[in-house]
Structure 1
Amino acid sequence: MKALLSGALMEGPRGRRIAYALLLVAPALFATNILVARATADFIPPVALAFWRWFLVLLLLLPLCGADLWRQRWAALAEWRSLLLLGTLGMGICGAFVYIGADTTSATNIGLIYAASPVFIGLFAALFFGERLGAPQIAGAACALAGVVVLVCRGDPDVLLGLRFVVGDLWIATSALCWAVYSVVLRYVPSRLDGMTRFAAICLCGVAVLLPGHLWEAMAVGLPSLDRRTVGFVLLIALVAGFAAYQVYGLIQRSLGAARAGLLMYLIPLYNAGLAVLLLDEQLQRYHLLGAALVVPGLLLANAWPQRRAARP
């Protein structure tokens, strides 16, 4: 397990096969974040949810790679700028801003805004690090994006015409943009730490960034109740949407690149709809099938041709 999580098994053709399989798993892990955010909005403050999510992930990581992190502490200190940036973006902003924005905006707006993050990931990767997607990949991404629009609009074009943007959308847009930057920095900024140890260092930075906001929020609105319901949801979001989702995403990036890994974001609304049908007794609708009919072939097309990299000047 440590070999897989550290990325040792992600090299070569075998690693790519593993990455493609994980590409279908990761969206389900990330989708639990949206479900938990909806379920806990009334009794867990947003920054508290983000802080305890990542604090528990850090506690989970320490038995696995705490000794390695201590042995490589000087290498980690030498990379403190990039680690702090990743912790601020991936755990601080992407951790808390979605929960804050969800208080005042709709699920439709969140889905549409976050659908832009793979576009930004591909753009940043191409502009700053020479990663390129050819015409088939662009066509596949466009097809998948169309499927996401169908899903979040529930197959009704009038939903787009009736959209009203509120302050919560600014929180979500900031989070989506920071997720794109996080993804590209994680993939292309070099590190002397192995994947799992680097992730632990990033979590440590993220917890440190979230702590002041958590303390301020606790003084302003109070702490969440320490009951079975709260503990259960925090454990779920930490284990699934924190530890598992981010580890799997990092492994996919290591093998397929930032742009292709970012395309999995298009599957999250599809998985979220499926989980809602299974867990929340929602009904399967025609727009679910139409969205799936666009998203899945789009992702297959986007990953059907070898990735090309632009020549460096």
Structure 2
Amino acid sequence: MVSEPHRLAWLLLWVTPALWSSNYLIARAAGGVIAPHLLALLRWTLALLLLLPFSWRALVREPRGWLREWPQLLVLGGLGMWICGAFVYIGARTTSALNIALIYAVAPVGIAVCGVLLLHERMSPAQRLGAALAVAGVLYVIARGDVGNLIAVRFALGDAWIVAASVSWIAYSVLSQRWKSVLPPAARTAAVVAGGVLVLLPFTLLEAWAAPQPPWSARAALLVVLAALLPGALSYTAYAIVQRELGAARTGLMLYLAPLYAALLAWALLGEPPRGYHVVGAALILPSIWLATRR
């Protein structure tokens, strides 16, 4: 008999990519409205406040757990909230929402490759082919369909920020699975977010000192609230539940749907229609995820 948490995990498998994709739209809409690190800091501070009512009992019940795990929580917070947060908002200034989604879609392939390098797992020839095709697809998207742009090193700086964020997400996924915790998913997510807020704070202050900030506005406040709710507290908690109930391989399937959701939402809400190179890149990337992550 299928348990209720397992049933919920299958539902979240389809919902979570839509929550993730909303962050790409928020990132595109934030340019000139709110500074990247400030948006990331306020997003995760608010997300932490939303998570605490559901997790404080577990945190109080297991103080030795999170006190013992605090170095891991800081690392995960830096990877998941600082790099995967502020870097995406910086990169979105000069690249499209669909580019972000397609670059992020290669993360399951990276996770599989990390399994080979770090856990000494084996990859079949088909899996190696899938990994190579996925990388080719990302390079094609970054080059905007013109290989000459790669040869001449001409591509949007925003894509480089997104590649860094994607690599950080791979590290976050691998380490959060590798580092076992005594905390339940919601409590561990709250503890990781707290670590991320601590890491973000000095970089936000440095950003404010180094460059003039856009004036605070109702639109900036709305973006903070949306970022905290949709790709913040809800998506990370859902990701933790799906990963716990269905395992890392099935969790990776969520990234098949993210580019589709991102393409439809960006077209409808931001007026960013898919280009020909997006279609070719998706045709290379999405089947490759299946090849590279299958057993």
TM-score (normalised: structure 1): 0.76
Q: Among 90, 95, 100, which residue is 1:106 paired with?
A: 95
Counterpart in the other structure of 1:247: 237
Q: Among 62, 82, 94, which residue is 1:92 paired with?
A: 82
**1:9 partner SS:** helix
Aligned CA RMSD, in angstroms, stands at 3.5
**1:190 partner SS:** coil
**2:32 partner SS:** coil
Matches within 5 A, 1:1-313: 9-10=5-6, 18-19=9-10, 21-103=11-93, 105-107=94-96, 110=100, 113-130=103-120, 134=124, 164-165=154-155, 168-222=158-212, 224-258=214-248, 261-262=251-252, 264-283=254-273, 307=295
Q: Deviations over 1:5-56 (max 9, x none)?
A: xx9824xxx68xx34x533332221111111111111110000010011011
In the alignment, the residues of structure 2 paired with residue 113 and residue 29 of structure 1 have an alpha-carbon distance, to the nearest angstrom, of 17
Note closer, same or farther for the CA distance 1:141–1:252 as it changes in structure 2 (3 Å cut).
Answer: farther
Note closer, same or farther for the CA distance 1:235–1:82 as it changes in structure 2 (3 Å cut).
Answer: same
8 Å CA contact 1:115–1:148 kept in 2: the answer is: no
Identify unmatched segments of 5+ residues in structure 1: 1-6, 308-313
Note closer, same or farther for the CA distance 1:264–1:87 as it changes in structure 2 (3 Å cut).
Answer: same
In the alignment, the residues of structure 2 paired with residue 136 and residue 295 of structure 1 have an alpha-carbon distance, to the nearest angstrom, of 14
More displaced, 56-65 or 21-30? 21-30
Note closer, same or farther for the CA distance 1:31–1:72 as it changes in structure 2 (3 Å cut).
Answer: same
In the alignment, the residues of structure 2 paired with residue 22 and residue 142 of structure 1 have an alpha-carbon distance, to the nearest angstrom, of 29
Q: Deviations over 1:242-301 (max 9, x none)?
A: 112222222333344445534544543332111122323455677776666666655566
User: For residue 78 of structure 1, what is the amino acid of its counterpart?
Assistant: R
8 Å CA contact 2:135–2:285 kept in 1: the answer is: yes
User: For residue 73 of structure 1, what is the amino acid of its counterpart?
Assistant: P
8 Å CA contact 1:117–1:177 kept in 2: the answer is: yes
In the alignment, the residues of structure 2 paired with residue 213 and residue 130 of structure 1 have an alpha-carbon distance, to the nearest angstrom, of 36
Q: Deviations over 1:128-154 (max 9, x none)?
A: 235556566666666666776777777
In the alignment, the residues of structure 2 paired with residue 169 and residue 150 of structure 1 have an alpha-carbon distance, to the nearest angstrom, of 12
8 Å CA contact 1:224–1:230 kept in 2: the answer is: no
After TM superposition, give the deviation of residue 119 of structure 1 in Å: 2.9
Note closer, same or farther for the CA distance 1:302–1:114 as it changes in structure 2 (3 Å cut).
Answer: closer
More displaced, 74-83 or 254-263? 254-263
Note closer, same or farther for the CA distance 1:153–1:264 as it changes in structure 2 (3 Å cut).
Answer: farther
In the alignment, the residues of structure 2 paired with residue 151 and residue 39 of structure 1 have an alpha-carbon distance, to the nearest angstrom, of 21
8 Å CA contact 2:104–2:166 kept in 1: the answer is: yes
In the alignment, the residues of structure 2 paired with residue 164 and residue 232 of structure 1 have an alpha-carbon distance, to the nearest angstrom, of 35
In the alignment, the residues of structure 2 paired with residue 188 and residue 8 of structure 1 have an alpha-carbon distance, to the nearest angstrom, of 25
In the alignment, the residues of structure 1 paired with residue 145 and residue 154 of structure 2 have an alpha-carbon distance, to the nearest angstrom, of 18
More displaced, 236-245 or 129-138? 129-138
8 Å CA contact 2:24–2:92 kept in 1: the answer is: no
Q: Deviations over 1:101-149 (max 9, x none)?
A: 334x433875665455333221212322355565666666666667767
User: For residue 90 of structure 2, what is the amino acid of its counterpart?
Assistant: I
